[in-house]
Structures are given as C-alpha cells and as structure tokens.
C-alpha cells in the first residue's frame, strides 16, 4: 500500500547553479536556465526539479531547485540521485545490441528460439526493442498494486500467460513486458544476470559511478503531489526484482549527461557506432497522423522541424526523468523530478536542446586526410558518369571509392569496398548493400549500379 506521509510545500524556492565546466555557454543562457527551472518548479508544484545541459562531454549549464527530501527540508544538490524509470531501457537496449554485434543474439530471431516456454514465441527480438511486437504492456502480475516486481519463478510463469493485443509489427504499443523478456533472453544466452552485465559493460567503463540498481544514501525521496492541498505524499519505493532491467535504475543528471553523450557516439569503445546507428534507426511510427514521433531500437525519435531528437523518458511512482539528445549538434539535456506527475519533462528537454543547439552550434572543422595511392583498376572509373539523365561523380578518398550526385554531394555520398576485380559493394550511404560492377571492352568502360547502366555521356 502507498504511505500517507506528507509534507506541506515550502513557500520559498531555492535555486542553485551547479558548477559548469569551461564556462562555454553565455551567462545569459545560464541565468535564463536557472530562472526557468525555478519558475517551472513553482508553477508545477514540484518537490524539486534539476536540469543539466551538455555538448558532447562538456557541461554547458545546470540548475537545481527545491528539495530532495521535502519532509526534512534537504535541498537538492548536484549529486542528488533520482530514479530514472524507463530510461533504464536504453541501457538494456544498448547491451542487447552489443550482443547482436557479437552474434550472441539475432534481432530477427523469435522469442521462442531463446525462451520456448512463452505464449508469444513468434515475436522477433527486433519488435520487442521497438515496442511493436503486439504483446500486452505489462507483465501479468500484480506489481502495480503490490509495488513489488515478480520473483524469477513468478516471472517465468507469467510469460506463459501473456496476451497478444495486435499482430506482430502491426502497430506500436509500449510494452514493459517486452524489455523484461529481453532481459531474460540476455540472461539465457550469456549465463549472467542482465543487470550485472549492464553494470560491467556500460556503467563501469563509462564512469557512471552514481548510477545504481538500488537507491543510494541521500537519494531523492519520491512524492505524489496532493491535487487539493499544497502538500506532498511520500510514494513507496518499488523493487522490480526479476524485471529490474525495464525500469529500476537510479542516477544523477551528471551521469545521464555522460550516458547521453555515449548514445550519440561519444564513447565508441563502450557504445560502438553500430549500436548508436541501430538505436537511432526508425523501426515504427508512433504518431501515425503527423509522423512526429517514431521509435528506434531502444530510443524515442521525435521530429522537430528539420531535425530529429533521440532519447527516452522515465516514470515510476515518485519520479520522472527525461533524456533528450541531438546527434548533429551534440547537445544532451537531462531533467529529473521527484514527483509522480506534475509536468511533462520531455517538452522541457526538447525545448532546451533546440535552444542550446541554436546558441551553441557544432564547430567541427572539416578534416582533410590524404588518400593512399589509387589502384589502377579504380583510377579509370573516377569522374563523371550518367544514368537516367542524372550525373554521379566517383572519387577516390582516404577510405576508398566514393560516389555522389553532382547536384547534392553533401546528402548522397556512398562508399564502396572491392569484393572481386571490377565488383564492388556499397557499404555506406545511398544504396547501401547494392552491387556496382564494371564492364570493360576495347572501346569503352561501362558500369552498372543496382543494375542501372552508367555511361560516360548523358543518355
């Protein structure tokens, strides 16, 4: 049962700026951020609100206001840990995709290949990651009444009672059960606890020392906001037990900034580029009317005008959290509060990503790398080619043979590798996976890409 411990809201608002590395963002941005956080916390009657902004691994600004423990009037601090709920799933997804890279998991294999004793064995792992497997949302146990997750035997028994609510792949339907199942499959193929592997392969190498599976000492206390009185009511601390990998983690905004940087490619030794790309690759549309939200393999993908933000939200009794990232600008924003409801944090983090990206655009200078000597068999295919009236330019660069449309070089680049003499495979960019062949005669050289003929003169 939920406790009834309560505390009246404090009249005053404490807002403390956290230390900012490098002083890169303007003082105006920092002051605006602090003012906004204080204003939003008061307007939404939150026990506390903490927000942090970074570009890659450099903290641009952070602000905290309110109380980590409202009953004892303990102010929130830079090291205050919040429960992050379903942001935990991003760690589970990254681990699963690392195992795919090691060929221990197959995204297209059905659940039944790994766990025979389930009622949804036909659902592919890929659909579990993207919440489109057609299975029910929750594990069929009473955890949302008892506030206690199932034991291992209870969870395994529950897997035989799962209902299908749609055909696999038919539509998006968020499923905590799907990620609990992924955790069980990871444990089946590795012989290790999934939570232990997340700690060992992700948390520890990234230095996320303030991220843990149990509440640390002096962690923020979770509350429910009284709808009719200026008071907070303490929420119970749910232990998810056997299904912890769907939402058990606690973390700090500083740790989540580092994790967000890893998710956009900033830590390739821990989260390889293949994993980052897979998590950002659209699998299903959530918003089928306006196409503003989709889902990748573990990340929410939100379209904002001409760019897409990736991240995740988390919500468990007493806490909300939001993580938003922009791969193009390298901006990462985190927001945490210790209230079950109160405000939509994802709107705040998305707005701050856009604001920070505008004020602090990426300043990556192009890097010139000299190309190695061009092989003779490639030298005579470089230059301008035409197919269906469209001009394509083939070039030799430091990493091999490339091709791009003459009128759109920035968005149409493709890279090839040689498979055999005069046979190449597209491995990056436009037409990835397609074959390019070269045909030589005494009078001319012709090429075929995707079976389309390419000639030296327009045809």
327 close to 280: Cβ distance less than 8 angstroms: yes
pLDDT at 360: 80
DSSP state of 124: B
pLDDT at 5: 40
pLDDT, mean of residues 425-454:
95
Question: pTM for the complete prediction?
Answer: 0.87
Statement: residue 1 has pLDDT above 50:
no
pLDDT, mean of residues 266-289:
97
The C-alpha atoms of residue 160 and residue 150 are separated, in whole angstroms, by: 14
Q: How many alpha carbons fall within 13 Å on the CB side of residue 109? A: 14
- How many residues does the structure list for the chain? 459
82-359 CATH: 3.40.710.10
* H-only helix segments in 132-252: 143-146, 152-158, 176-190, 194-198
Q: Cα separations (Å) of 458 from 313, 385, 388, 394, 447? A: 52, 8, 8, 15, 13
Closest CA to 346 of 360, 356, 336: 336
The C-alpha atoms of residue 452 and residue 194 are separated, in whole angstroms, by: 47
84 close to 213: Cβ distance less than 8 angstroms: no
The C-alpha atoms of residue 397 and residue 369 are separated, in whole angstroms, by: 8
pLDDT at 7: 46
Statement: residue 436 has pLDDT above 70:
yes
Statement: residue 77 has pLDDT above 90:
no
The C-alpha atoms of residue 233 and residue 240 are separated, in whole angstroms, by: 21
What are the beta bridge partners of residue 455? 386
Statement: residue 276 has pLDDT above 50:
yes
pLDDT at 369: 81
The C-alpha atoms of residue 123 and residue 154 are separated, in whole angstroms, by: 21
Q: Where are the domains of the chain?
A: 82-359, 376-454
Residue 295 burial (CB count, 10 A)? 19
Helix 176-190 and helix 88-101: axis angle, to 10°? 40
pLDDT at 28: 81
Q: Report the percentage of the chain scoring pLDDT > 90.
A: 86
Task: Give tens-digit pLDDT for 290-330.
Answer: 999 999 999 999 999 889 999 999 999 999 999 999 999 99
């Amino acid at each position: 049962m939920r406790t009834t411990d309560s505390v009246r809201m404090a009249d005053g608002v404490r807002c403390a700026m956290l230390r900012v590395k490098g002083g890169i963002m303007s003082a105006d941005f920092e002051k605006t951020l602090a003012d906004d956080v204080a204003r939003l916390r008061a307007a939404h009657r939150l026990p506390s609100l903490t927000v942090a902004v970074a570009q890659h691994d450099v903290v641009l600004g952070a602000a905290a206001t309110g109380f980590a423990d409202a009953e004892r009037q303990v102010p929130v601090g830079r090291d205050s840990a919040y429960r992050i709920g379903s942001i935990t799933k991003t760690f589970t997804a990254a681990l699963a995709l690392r195992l795919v890279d090691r060929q221990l998991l197959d995204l297209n294999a059905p659940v039944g290949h790994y766990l025979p004793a389930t009622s949804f064995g036909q659902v592919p792992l890929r659909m579990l990651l993207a919440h489109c497997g057609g299975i029910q949302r929750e594990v069929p146990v009473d955890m949302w009444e008892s506030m206690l997750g199932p034991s291992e035997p209870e969870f395994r028994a529950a897997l035989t009672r799962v209902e299908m609510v749609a055909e696999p792949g038919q539509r998006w339907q968020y499923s905590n059960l799907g990620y609990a199942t992924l955790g069980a499959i990871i444990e089946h193929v590795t012989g290790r606890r999934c939570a232990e592997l997340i700690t060992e392969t992700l948390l520890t190498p990234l230095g996320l020392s303030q991220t843990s599976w149990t509440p640390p000492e002096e962690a923020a206390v979770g509350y429910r906001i009284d709808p009719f009185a200026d008071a907070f009511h303490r929420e119970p601390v749910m232990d998810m037990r056997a299904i912890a990998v769907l939402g058990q983690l606690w973390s700090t905004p500083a740790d989540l900034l580092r994790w967000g940087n890893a998710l956009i490619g900033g830590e390739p030794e821990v989260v390889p580029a293949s994993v980052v790309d897979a998590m950002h690759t659209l699998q299903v549309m959530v918003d089928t009317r306006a196409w503003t939200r989709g889902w990748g393999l573990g990340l929410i993908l939100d379209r904002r005008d001409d760019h897409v933000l990736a991240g995740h939200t988390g919500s468990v009794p007493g806490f909300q959290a939001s993580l938003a990232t922009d791969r193009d600008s390298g901006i990462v924003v985190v927001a945490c509060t210790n209230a079950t409801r109160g405000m939509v944090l994802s709107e705040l983090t998305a707005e701050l990503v856009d604001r920070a990206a505008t004020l602090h655009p990426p300043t990556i200078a192009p890097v010139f790398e000299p190309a190695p000597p061009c092989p003779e068999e490639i030298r005579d295919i470089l230059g301008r080619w035409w197919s269906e009236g469209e001009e394509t330019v083939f070039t030799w660069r430091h990493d091999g043979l490339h091709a791009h449309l003459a009128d759109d070089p920035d968005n149409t680049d493709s890279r090839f590798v040689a498979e055999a003499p005069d046979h190449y495979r597209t491995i990056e960019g436009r037409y990835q996976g397609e074959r390019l062949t070269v045909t030589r005669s005494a009078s001319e050289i012709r090429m075929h890409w995707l079976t389309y003929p390419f000639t030296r003169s327009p045809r």
